[in-house]
Structure 1
Amino acid sequence: MSAGSPRIAVLGAGAIGSLFGGLLTTHARVTLIGRAPHVDAVRANGLLVESGSGEALFRPHAETTLPDESWDCVAIAVKTRGLRNACREVAALTTPPGIVLLLQNGEGIESVAAETLPSETLARAIVYEGASLRRPGVVTRFGIGKTYLGAPLAPGEQSETLGEIVQLLERSGLPARIAHDIKREIWRKLIVNAAINPVGALAGVVNGVIIRSGALRKLLRSVIDEGQAVAFAETGYRFDLVEKTEEIANNTAGNRNSMLLDLATGRKTEIDFLNERIVHYAARHEIPVPVNRHLAAAVRAREDANES
């Protein structure tokens, strides 16, 4: 990382990308890359971050395309459906960035990025923050969660840089740590997302309602049980994530999860990197996962209906 203020580009200035980019401006030179209405609002009025503790205004740079400049870090925060295009933008830079940080949910993200970018430059950020882009230029933060960093394809390659990024995140009000086993954290978050996202999306409710509804809570626990069985068969990791998942849903009680927003606006979801990954590995080990299978099929049906 550069001495002084590192140069960071956040490619995909949605809710999480804007939250990270905004807070990081206190200790870095940040450029948000997003859609024109959001970029125009940030340029005109700054980025307003709302939270339970009040409001804060930040003034990152904002662009609609990734400037061909030298970046210490490019954080890719687009949805999984846009990951390949985002990686091609990064690959086209004249000077390769020092590190590319992937903020997507799901298992297998880094392998998609490695189709275009050198694996030794890639790192994952497993994010437990909850945020919503309320309107262009305004982000609401729902609860504070920790972010875990690691390089699953090249362990040890980016250890010094990742340590610097962790310090930068911490100083900026984003709790973070290095994950000693990032693949374990990827699977942990996979199960959490696979439980909360499709259940909330198909029911059309915010996260807190899932916990208050007996039927939805039972469904969430079934997804977790199946996911944990598959994780153990595939990786040997043992998880006990019911309490953790319900805590996350409570901490982000007012949040409409990203899959719910995708279905509501007619966009493709991330189901292929969540429940469908569990179904994929379950088939390899001949483990029945009827709840994950049915949820994935229901989400796909909603996607098809949106396109018809």
Structure 2
Amino acid sequence: MATILLIGPGAIGSLMAWSLQNHATIKVYAHRAGLSLPGHVESDGETHRLRWSLTDSLVGIDAVLVCCKATQVERATSPLIPKLSGIPWLILCNGLGPQAWLSQQLPGRVLWASTTEGAGRFGQQVRHTGVGETRIGSPEQYIVTDETEQWGRKLASQPGPLELHWEPDITAVLWRKLAINAVINPITAVQQCLNGALAKREWIGEIEVLCAEIQQIARASDIQLPSDLAERVVMVARATGRNRSSMLTDIEAGRETEVDSILGPLLCAADRHGLAAPRLQYWYQAVIRLHPLNR
């Protein structure tokens, strides 16, 4: 049985460990002081024990799974990169910046993933709040080795409580998720509201303007986003109406947000292509003002 080193035992990391623990030994790297592991996942009214353990040893590791927040990726992985550069890595986090950074540090070794699973951590228990799917793939701009791709395809094909798939165009999948997060996260963080507030008529105009800016940036970057992006944003806001966005949760907890990983790549791409994105810039600056730690 292979041994996977997991970085980031939060809600999504816990779900991934639960899904993979019948096929691999899960070791969690203690990337920060005081790290504790949830003991159970609650899903569909049932409680499932998590079989994992903390470690500071890198001996016998066959692959690495990165599930920490985007803001933590560089700090958490930098000490490990020189020691674990010859094995497959998989990164599952918000945004696009950390994925590109890690792929540049580990040429040919990093697969990307995106998930629509919903989860929240409540003390020592993780609650599976929404059933979705997780897609794993090789980014076209960072080609991986055959060994790494084979590992990813095997991971995606293994049965488990989560639905895992191999995705031929993972970059497009991450862009679609980024586009929706780039609208919902900053507005809910600044307005201090639940996701469902954005399904109200008063926000339709702002959502449409933001989506038009994102569409323009995507086209310039050779990415095809759905033509009904604004409608999809409203649909997601309605479907997750009682949820707090990750950016709002970070603001409420006084933590650094993921604004540089979610809005940052879009604004950098706009600048690179000479495009104006005034509303994205407005919400980016509004989040920064709320929490200066981002600077």
TM-score range, shorter chain: 0.7 to 0.9
CA contact (8 A) 1:11 1:66 kept: no
Q: Which of 281, 295, 300 is matched with 2:283 structurally?
A: 295
**Matching residue's letter, 1:250:** R
Task: Tell me whether 1:32 sits opposite 2:21 in the alignment.
Answer: no
Q: Among the aligned pairs, what percent are the same residue?
A: 27
Q: Which of 223, 231, 237 is matched with 2:210 structurally?
A: 223
Distance of 1:76 and 1:236 partners within structure 2: 25
Task: Return closer, same or farther for 1:25/1:217 CA change in 2, 3 Å cut-off.
Answer: farther
User: What SS does the corresponding residue of 2:226 show, helix, strand or coil?
Assistant: coil
| Structure 1 equivalent of residue 47 of structure 2 | 56
| Structure 1 equivalent of residue 249 of structure 2 | 261
Distance of 1:142 and 1:257 partners within structure 2: 13
CA contact (8 A) 2:10 2:121 kept: yes
**Matching residue's letter, 1:9:** L
Specify every segment of 5 or more residues in structure 1 that has no aligned partner in the other structure, as ranges.
Answer: none
User: What SS does the corresponding residue of 1:39 show, helix, strand or coil?
Assistant: coil
Task: Tell me whether 1:21 sits opposite 2:52 in the alignment.
Answer: no
CA contact (8 A) 2:103 2:109 kept: no
Distance of 1:112 and 1:291 partners within structure 2: 26
Task: Tell me whether 1:271 sits opposite 2:253 in the alignment.
Answer: no
Equivalent residues, number: 290
CA contact (8 A) 1:9 1:33 kept: yes
| Structure 2 equivalent of residue 112 of structure 1 | 101
Distance of 2:116 and 2:282 partners within structure 1: 26
**Matching residue's letter, 2:114:** I
Task: Return closer, same or farther for 1:73/1:248 CA change in 2, 3 Å cut-off.
Answer: farther
User: What SS does the corresponding residue of 2:221 show, helix, strand or coil?
Assistant: helix
| Structure 1 equivalent of residue 130 of structure 2 | 143
Distance of 2:86 and 2:243 partners within structure 1: 33
Task: Tell me whether 1:165 sits opposite 2:155 in the alignment.
Answer: yes
Q: Which of 77, 80, 91 is matched with 2:81 structurally?
A: 91
CA contact (8 A) 2:111 2:144 kept: no
Distance of 2:144 and 2:156 partners within structure 1: 16
**Pairwise CA distance, 1:13:** 0.8
Distance of 2:236 and 2:110 partners within structure 1: 27
Q: Which moved more, 1:194-203 or 1:243-252?
A: 243-252
**Pairwise CA distance, 1:23:** 2.9
**Pairwise CA distance, 1:156:** 6.1
CA contact (8 A) 1:70 1:96 kept: no
Task: Give the CA RMSD over aligned residues.
Answer: 2.5
| Structure 1 equivalent of residue 57 of structure 2 | 67
Task: Tell me whether 1:11 sits opposite 2:7 in the alignment.
Answer: yes
Q: Which of 224, 232, 238 is matched with 1:244 structurally?
A: 232
Task: Tell me whether 1:233 sits opposite 2:220 in the alignment.
Answer: yes
CA contact (8 A) 1:142 1:254 kept: no
**Pairwise CA distance, 1:210:** 2.4
CA contact (8 A) 1:71 1:97 kept: no
Specify every segment of 5 or more residues in structure 2 that has no aligned partner in the other structure, as ranges.
Answer: none
